[in-house]
Amino acid sequence: ARSRLVLGIETSCDDTGAAVVNETGLILGESLHSQKEVHLQAGGVIPAVAQRLHRENIFRVVREAIDRSGVSPSELSAVATTVKPGLSLSLGIGLEFSLAFVKQHQKPFIPIHHMEAHALTVRMLEPVEFPFLVLLISGGHGLLALARDIDDFLLLGQSTDEAPGDILDKVARRLHLKNHPECSTMSGGQAIEHLAKQGNRRNFLLTTPMGQVFDCNFSFAGLRTQVSVAIDRKEIDEGVKSGELLSCVNDIAAGTQHTVASHIAKRTHRAILFCKARGLLPQHSPTLVVSGGVASNTYIRETLKIVTDATGLHLLCPPSKFCTDNGVMVAWNGIEKLRAGRGILSYTEEVRYEPK
């Protein structure tokens, strides 16, 4: 039989993405429009602005993905679209477009959960069997889960406030790293990783969050306050004016990166021990998959490697292209559901989703 094809559509936050993927994980065509620059100017994602930009770009992005794939809509086996979680205004554009598309072309519709799509993308690249542990660390997510099947996830922990990438971005902004000659084009997380290499974390000591909380949740807001208060004090000491760089930005970057890494590693360690104690991980080659924009941080990866080495887990970090929001991960999740024959709706079915 010919390899089936799924069109995947992603609009849950600030990326309009579409891709056509086949059952072997081959990406036939893809297109991505990022709104990052616009939101960076505004200092955050404004839902109404995100919605307008999704609306302006969705037709072109989907058309590009299909054109590049060289297939016609009639050859698609299904359309898969992120329906939750995310910004409801953004999700609405993808859903509205998809429902019209599946009606027009009379195709099955596969609703996709954004986090599940992130968690399963690794299986497009490597033969990872269930169950496996997943750590998602990005600008929008911080969570630990046990993936037991394509539609069966045990949530072990999540951020109770901000996502790890979010705090790195906020600390970078607080340090005015956009004004740093070496970092002007980098994301906050990249800038902190870059400067941390030249700094000494012992010159900027911080307390790792939730030391007395015995679960697998994350919390980064307190750490951000801790860093911010310390920066205020240093700025007064050095008498720097607004927008100027402190002399010790490298040490602050190193201390912040180390504490974020240490917090993530400790919660992951706890999750691994929890799963082991309950026999939730396979005997043969138990795996931790790490995904999300923050997973491209080498220091954080190395810290996690210490944890997985000590507990006998295999550490897998897919290339960053597959860790970020795009249509490919959604299309692949559609393929997984199509192969399992689960979660597939007919184009005539009523589809309503609460973006929770």
List contacts with Zn ion (CB under 5 A).
325
Beta strand ranges found along the chain (DSSP E): 5-10, 15-22, 27-34, 78-84, 109-113, 132-137, 142-149, 152-158, 287-291, 314-316
20 forms beta bridges with: 7, 29
Based on the shown chain and the rule CB under 6 A, indicate whether residue 297 belongs to the binding site for ligand KG4: yes
> Taking the complex as a whole, how short is the minimal distance between the CB of residue 118 and ligand KG4, in angstroms?
8
Of 153, 88, 86, 166, nearest to 120 by C-alpha is: 153
Based on the shown chain and the rule CB under 6 A, indicate whether residue 259 belongs to the binding site for ligand KG4: no
C-alpha–C-alpha distance, residues 104 and 89, integer Å: 23
Based on the shown chain and the rule CB under 6 A, indicate whether residue 165 belongs to the binding site for ligand KG4: yes
165 binds, among Zn ion, ligand KG4, none (CB under 5 to 8 A by kind): ligand KG4
C-alpha–C-alpha distance, residues 288 and 42, integer Å: 36
Quick one: 286 or 334, whose CB is closer to Zn ion?
334
Strand order in the sheet with 314-316: 152-158, 142-149, 132-137, 287-291, 314-316
From candidates 17, 86, 94, 140, binder to ligand KG4 by CB under 6 A: 140
Site for ligand KG4 in 319-338 (CB under 6 A): 323-325
181 forms beta bridges with: none
327 binds, among Zn ion, ligand KG4, none (CB under 5 to 8 A by kind): none
C-alpha–C-alpha distance, residues 228 and 233, integer Å: 9
From candidates 92, 94, 188, 286, binder to ligand KG4 by CB under 6 A: 188
From candidates 10, 193, 251, 336, binder to ligand KG4 by CB under 6 A: 193
268 binds, among ligand KG4, Zn ion, none (CB under 5 to 8 A by kind): none
Q: Which residues bind ligand KG4 (CB under 6 A)?
A: 138-140, 165, 168-169, 187-190, 193, 292-294, 296-297, 323-325
